[in-house]
Amino acid sequence: MAAIPADTDALPNGPLDGRAVHVCVDMQNLFAEKTAWHTPWMARVLPRVRHLAAVVPERTLFTRFVPARHPGEGRGCWKRYWERWAEMTVERLGEAMVDLVPDLAALVPPGEVVDKTVYSPWMEPGLESALRARRAETLVITGGETDVCVLATVLGAVDRGYRIVLATDAVCSSSDDTHDAMMTLYRQRFGQQLEIATTGQILQNWNLSELTER
pLDDT at 209: 76
**Mean pLDDT of the 152-158 span:** 98
What one-character DSSP code corresponds to residue 11? Answer: -
Residue 75's pLDDT band (cuts 50, 70, 90): very high
Checking if the pLDDT of 3 tops 50, the result is: no
Instruction: Give the closest residue to 173 by CA, choosing from 145, 149, 150, 154.
Output: 145
Q: Which CATH superfamily is domain 20-67+97-213 in?
A: Isochorismatase-like (3.40.50.850)
List the Cα angle 194/195/198 in 5-degree steps: 140
Residue 1's pLDDT band (cuts 50, 70, 90): very low
Checking if the pLDDT of 212 tops 70, the result is: no
Give the CA-trace dihedral at 201, 205, 208, 209, to 10 degrees. Answer: 150
**Mean pLDDT of the 170-194 span:** 95
Q: Are strands 20-25 and 138-144 parallel, antiparallel or unpaired?
A: parallel
Sign of the CA dihedral running 126, 148, 24, 181: negative
